[in-house]
Structure 1
Amino acid sequence: MRDIGSKPVSARRPRLVVASNRGPYIFKETPEGLTRVKPVSGLVSAVEPLLEANGGVWIGWAGRGPEEAADREDAKHVIPLGDRQYIFREAFLTEDDIQSYYHGFANRMLWPLCLYFNEKCRFEKENWESYVRVNEKIARSAVEEAGERDLIWVHDYHLALVPELVRRELPGSRIAFFWHIPFPSPDIFRILPTAESVLKGILGSDLVGFHIQTYVRNFLSSIETILATPVNIDEGAIWWQGRKVMVKASPIGIDFQAFNRTARRKDTIARAHEIRRNALSGTGTGKIILGADRLDYTKGILERLLAIERFFEKYPEFQGKVIFIQIAVPSRAEVGDYQEMRRQIEEAVGRINGRFTREGRIPVHYLYRSLSRRELVAHYLAADVALITPLRDGLNLVAKEFVASRIDSDGVLILSELAGASEQLSEALIVNPYDLDEISDTIRRALEMPEEERRQRMEALRKNVEAFDLSWWLEDFISPLMRPDGVSGKTDPRGPRGVAHDAQ
Structure 2
Amino acid sequence: MSLTVVANRVPIRQSDDGDWVPSVGGLTTALLPVLRQRGGAWIGMGEDPALPERQPFPADDPDFTVRRVPLSQDELDGYYYGMANRVLWPVSHYMIQHFEPNPSFMETYRSVNRRFAEAVLDEVDRSDEQIWLQDYHLMLAPKWIREARPDVTLGHFWHIPWPAMEVFRILPWARELLRGMLACDLVGVHVQEYVDNFLESARVLLGADIDGQTVHYNGHTTRVEAHPIGIEVDRFKQMADSDEVRTKAKQLRKRLGTEHIVIGIDRLDYTKGVLSRLEAFERFLENNPAYHGTVSFYQIATPSRTKVDTYQQLKREVDEVVGRINGQFARDNWVPVNYRYRTYTQFELCAFYRAADVALITPLRDGMNVVTQEFITANQNGVLILSELTGAAYLLPEAIQVNPYDRDGLAASIRTALEMNPDERTTRLNALKSTVEGLDVQRWARGFLDALHA
Taking structure 2 as the reference length, the TM-score comes to: 0.97
* Aligned-partner residue type, residue 432 of structure 2: L
For residues 246 and 213 of structure 2, what CA distance do their matches in structure 1 show? 45
Query: 1:27 deviation in Å?
Result: 5.6
Query: Is residue 16 of structure 1 aligned with residue 3 of structure 2?
Result: yes
Task: Please give the secondary structure, in 2, of the residue aligned with 1:181.
Answer: coil
Q: Deviations over 1:136-168 (max 9, x none)?
A: 111011111112111000000100011111000
Query: Is residue 241 of structure 1 aligned with residue 218 of structure 2?
Result: yes
For residues 380 and 171 of structure 1, what CA distance do their matches in structure 2 show? 47
For residues 98 and 167 of structure 2, what CA distance do their matches in structure 1 show? 13
Aligned partner of 2:356 in structure 1 is 383
Q: Deviations over 1:6-63 (max 9, x none)?
A: xxxxxxxx200000111112469x9x9x665644322112111211221110000243
* Aligned-partner residue type, residue 353 of structure 1: N
Q: Deviations over 1:307-330 (max 9, x none)?
A: 000000011111110000000001
Query: 1:84 deviation in Å?
Result: 6.5
For residues 3 and 95 of structure 2, what CA distance do their matches in structure 1 show? 35
Aligned partner of 1:493 in structure 2 is none
CA distance 1:245–1:438, change in 2 (3 Å): same
* Aligned-partner residue type, residue 350 of structure 1: G
Aligned partner of 1:219 in structure 2 is 198
Which moved further from structure 2: 457-466 or 38-47?
38-47
Q: Is the 8 A contact 1:26 1:63 kept in 2?
A: no
Query: Is residue 166 of structure 1 aligned with residue 166 of structure 2?
Result: no
For residues 389 and 418 of structure 2, what CA distance do their matches in structure 1 show? 23
Query: 1:461 deviation in Å?
Result: 0.6
Aligned partner of 1:497 in structure 2 is none
Q: Out of 100, 104, 123, which is 1:122 matched to? A: 100
Query: 1:240 deviation in Å?
Result: 2.0
Task: Please give the secondary structure, in 1, of the residue aligned with 2:296.
Answer: strand
Aligned partner of 2:80 in structure 1 is 102
Task: Please give the secondary structure, in 1, of the residue aligned with 2:343.
Answer: coil
Query: 1:424 deviation in Å?
Result: 0.6
Query: Is residue 340 of structure 1 aligned with residue 313 of structure 2?
Result: yes
Q: Out of 38, 41, 66, which is 1:57 matched to? A: 41
Q: Is the 8 A contact 2:273 2:362 kept in 1?
A: yes
CA distance 1:82–1:286, change in 2 (3 Å): farther
Aligned partner of 2:330 in structure 1 is 357
For structure 2, list consecutive stretches of 5 or more residues without a partner in the other structure: none
Aligned partner of 2:118 in structure 1 is 140
Task: Please give the secondary structure, in 1, of the residue aligned with 2:154.
Answer: strand
Q: Out of 415, 424, 447, which is 1:444 matched to? A: 415
Task: Please give the secondary structure, in 1, of the residue aligned with 2:8.
Answer: strand
Query: Is residue 253 of structure 1 aligned with residue 230 of structure 2?
Result: yes
* Aligned-partner residue type, residue 86 of structure 1: F
Q: Give the aligned length.
A: 453
Q: Out of 26, 41, 48, which is 1:42 matched to? A: 26
- Name the Cα RMSD after superposition: 1.6
Task: Please give the secondary structure, in 2, of the residue aligned with 1:253.
Answer: coil
* Aligned-partner residue type, residue 262 of structure 1: M
For residues 371 and 237 of structure 1, what CA distance do their matches in structure 2 show? 42
Q: Is the 8 A contact 1:320 1:356 kept in 2?
A: no
Aligned partner of 1:303 in structure 2 is 276
Q: Deviations over 1:310-368 (max 9, x none)?
A: 00001111111000000000111122211111011011001101111133200000011
Q: Is the 8 A contact 1:27 1:62 kept in 2?
A: no
For residues 144 and 39 of structure 1, what CA distance do their matches in structure 2 show? 24
Query: 1:472 deviation in Å?
Result: 2.0
Query: 1:475 deviation in Å?
Result: 2.4
For residues 21 and 408 of structure 2, what CA distance do their matches in structure 1 show? 43
Q: Deviations over 1:445-479 (max 9, x none)?
A: 10000000000000111111012211221222112
* Aligned-partner residue type, residue 377 of structure 1: C
Query: Is residue 203 of structure 1 aligned with residue 187 of structure 2?
Result: no
Q: Is the 8 A contact 1:288 1:382 kept in 2?
A: yes
For residues 353 and 386 of structure 1, what CA distance do their matches in structure 2 show? 20
* Aligned-partner residue type, residue 251 of structure 2: E
Q: Is the 8 A contact 2:186 2:224 kept in 1?
A: yes
For residues 312 and 53 of structure 1, what CA distance do their matches in structure 2 show? 54
* Aligned-partner residue type, residue 106 of structure 1: A
For residues 35 and 475 of structure 1, what CA distance do their matches in structure 2 show? 29
* Aligned-partner residue type, residue 229 of structure 1: A
For structure 1, list consecutive stretches of 5 or more residues without a partner in the other structure: 1-13, 488-504
Q: Deviations over 1:283-328 (max 9, x none)?
A: xx41000000001000010000000000000111111100000000
Relative contact order, CA 8 A, sep 6+: which one is greater?
Answer: 2
Q: Is the 8 A contact 1:77 1:87 kept in 2?
A: yes
For residues 149 and 307 of structure 2, what CA distance do their matches in structure 1 show? 40
Query: Is residue 293 of structure 1 aligned with residue 272 of structure 2?
Result: no
Q: Deviations over 1:365-397 (max 9, x none)?
A: 001111111110000001000000000002200
Query: Is residue 131 of structure 1 aligned with residue 109 of structure 2?
Result: yes
Q: Percent identity between the aligned chains?
A: 42
Query: Is residue 154 of structure 1 aligned with residue 125 of structure 2?
Result: no
Aligned partner of 1:490 in structure 2 is none
